[in-house]
A and B are shown apart, each in its own frame.
Chain A
Amino acid sequence: MSNMMSVLFASDNESKLNELTIHRTTASLPFCGRYRLIDFILSNLVNSGVTTIGIIARSNYNSLMDHIRMGRDWGLNRKNGGLAVFPPYVMNTSRDMYKSKIEAIYSINDYIKKAKEDYILITNGNVAYNFNFAGLYDAHIAQKADITMLTYKSATTARRILPVIGKNGRVSEIVFSNSQSNSPADVAMNVYLMHKNLLLELVESAFNRGQLDFEKDILMSKIDELKIYAYNVGGFVAIIDDIKSYYYESMKLLQKSTRDMLFDSYGSIYTKVKDSVPTLYEDKAEVKNSLIADGCNINGYVENSILFRGVKIEEGARVINSIIMENGHIMHNTNMSYVITDKNVKIKENRNISGFETYPIVIVKDKTV
């Protein structure tokens, strides 16, 4: 069993997912037909032997609780360790809802101290990737690092944290990129490994000074004092923080090479089991280049699209370049292109809805059009 525990941030303050996160945290955002974003990090942790996981949920965490239950579907219903969920307001010392990572970690320091593991991984629920943390741990120990941060090579760097990495992997500087720059670079994933005593020390000292920002007030200000290393994650990494990135990263999954990286590299990705039946295709079904989850009933035309569990496409409907979430119902002779429909959306007969590649139209949960 691993000597790492994890604190997992389910909500991201930076989220610009608007309509899609009205009803849920970013971590419980549906992704790739049958998953929620949090499934990837939970599965990675479990596949790496990390089984003491504290989830920090900030707002709208109902859907998250419903999804993870007590962690049974990830084998996390344990006597030792397992899942702990920390909703806002129930923390040891804070009277107010926590405002930052530093406050949140400070308020659960008892939980962190009591865990039997010595090292802690700070993770978040808005990144889809397939990774084994054992390699990160080995590198961290070998380099005698204070903090090791996960990075990946990204084609776009807008609104990301960019570490400046030396030849030996040591981070010499951390820069925020606010511009709309599109040059490829090493981008931080906001995932950190360190000894838990160091974390508690850093967090307590920052908290006492009223500092709020983990990256700015701790990492950047102590960049010379601490040995901070970067560890590059290969393969497919998708950070989801706005509608555009959600759509763009989802559509990449229509390529087999992307699916292989996300589902077939280190371990299986687990999700809540729903016991849906296999998908049924009727006589008028015509489907090209699409990902289809279980429990659908298809009798229309579907192309370059992702259908979640329990979607119904009626005869004559044409769904192109779209993402239809769970239990969506697209009725006769409706045309859709570049549309994302949230759960339980019904599009009635003869509708024409069309967005654009860079601006897909989002239809909010439970709506009928």
Chain B
Amino acid sequence: MKQKKECIAMLLAGGQGTRLGVLTSQVAKPAVPFGGKYRIIDFTLSNTINSNIDTIGVLTQYQPFELNTYIGNGQPWDLDRLDGGVFVLPPFMKATSGEWYKGTANAIYQNIAFIDKYDPEYVLILSGDHIYKMDYSLMLDSHKKNKADCTIAVFEVPIEQASRFGIMNTDESGRICAFEEKPKKPKSNKASMGIYIFSWQKLRTYLIADEADKSSQNDFGKNIIPCMLKNGEAMYAYSFNGYWKDVGTISSLWEANMDLLDEESGINLNDTTWKIYARNSAEPPHYLGLNAVIKNSSISEGCEIDGLLKNSILSQSCTVGRDAVIENSIIMPGAVIEEDAVIKYAIVGSSARICKGARVGEDLAAPNEKGEWDIALIGPDTVIKSGSTIKKGEML
């Protein structure tokens, strides 16, 4: 007999993340390294356990191998439980048919039996590609207080950017009266964060109806939410005021990493009451050599450094040779930067090698006309030969 759970979480981790280019050619977006020792998914997993939700289904589909290995039995997040814990849920064959997850709603639909097993009152729907620290239990309190069928977390964005998001228009009580996907003329600046709490029986009914509708794209934002609104269900917005960043593009991934070096940004990872957990690699402390110069940077375990590092993030087990220069860049785990290499405004993927004297990226003064930084990107395991130059915004 399974114990009844009040609320369980379903984490959508199947997106392909094509906008991250070569970084997601081998791994799913949630498994992309972040902040020196984390993966993007660590934030959502840690938030969930820190919010006292101990049962999580992780829906994977695209390049799941590394993500599955990373999650393992959930031990790093204290999710190895007798009852509950973390479950990786890939699409599977049924007796009569089998199919991929067609959309976000279909992914949940295909796992109705998993959710029913815990007989929850509420289901929290999360996505695995955001950097933020959020107490979902407060959102759940608000959901209960409003006697809502659905609560959507919203984040107030500058109104001029609002047309890039799904925007919630609410009345004074916070009840959602309209939802517009990427509106040309936004009426509000409350952007959906892709975090939903549903009363499970209500959502279950809608998922079944949505699946029966052959014209539906089986997507929460495009189908389930508009349909519930149309039917007048009790839907509320929950405003979140902390740090939140979608890291769906190279530019935003770079910005979110840089925010870790900026005390003002509000994403303080050094908070013992809300730790972000990660699977640990057994590495010794990092070593700074006689020629190392480090300014405003973050360095993880297992690195050996003899060069210059400024405004940069160096992940685990990287090597930086003598007189190499790394500025405003992110170096992912195991990368080797040989002597005299120069790296500026770049992301260097895991286990890449930048050979002696190579140049990657250029100094940038400001984002381009689209508001994005022209970050040079070197893919995982890529070797940049001596003497080569990789220009700003180039991807290899």
Interface residues of A (CB under 8 A from B): 32-34, 43, 72, 254, 256, 259, 262-263, 268-271, 273, 275, 277-283, 285-295, 297, 306-307
Contacts and interface: CB of A to CB of B under 8 A. Distances in A.
A262 to B, nearest CB: 8
B106 interface: no
B284 interface: yes
Contacts of A285: 294-295
Contact of B36 (A278, A286, A291): A278
B300 A282 contact: no
Interface stretch (B115-123, B152-160, B244-252, B273-281): B273-281
B285 A291 contact: yes
Contacts of A34: 284-285, 301
Given A281-B298, A285-B294, A287-B294, A294 B37 contact: yes
A292 B295 contact: no
Contact of B285 (A33, A277, A282): A33
Nearest to B75: A72
Nearest to A297: B270
Given A33-B285, A34-B285, A72-B75, A293 B301 contact: yes
A281 B296 contact: yes
Interface in B256-281: 261, 269-270, 275-278, 280
Interface in B276-317: 276-278, 280, 282-290, 292-301, 304, 309, 313-315
B35 interface: yes
A273 B298 CA distance: 19
Summarize B's interface: helix, strand, loop or mixed: loop
Q: How large is the interface on B (under 10, 10 to 19, 20 to 34, 35 or more residues)?
A: 35 or more
A254 B289 CA distance: 9
B317 to A, nearest CB: 11
A273 B304 CA distance: 21
Given A275-B275, A275-B278, A290 B37 contact: no
Given A34-B301, A281-B294, 6 more contacts: A256-B287, A273-B76, A278-B36, A283-B296, A285-B295, A295-B270
Contacts of B288: 287-290, 292
* Most A Cβ at <10 Å: residue of B36, B280, B290, B300: B280
A235 to B, nearest CB: 15
A294 B275 CA distance: 14
Nearest to B42: A275
10 contacts: A33-B284, A34-B284, A270-B282, A273-B280, A281-B295, A288-B292, A291-B284, A291-B286, A291-B287, A297-B270
B237 to A, nearest CB: 32
Contacts of B287: 254, 256, 259, 290-292
Given A34-B301, A277-B270, A292 B285 contact: yes
A140 B274 CA distance: 51
A167 B377 CA distance: 59
A279 B298 contact: yes
B290 A288 contact: yes
A293 B261 CA distance: 18
A55 B295 CA distance: 44
A285 B309 CA distance: 11
B269 A277 contact: yes
B282 A293 contact: no
A288 B289 CA distance: 6
Contacts of A283: 295-296
A271 B299 contact: no
Nearest to B288: A287
Contacts of A281: 294-299, 309
* Most A Cβ at <10 Å: residue of B269, B293, B295, B301: B301
Interface in B97-114: none
A178 B86 CA distance: 57
B104 to A, nearest CB: 30
A83 B335 CA distance: 36
Contacts of A32: 284-285
Contacts of A273: 76, 280
Contacts of A297: 270
A218 to B, nearest CB: 36
B276 to A, nearest CB: 8
A45 to B, nearest CB: 15
Nearest to B35: A278
* Most B Cβ at <10 Å: residue of A33, A263, A281, A307: A281
B294 to A, nearest CB: 4
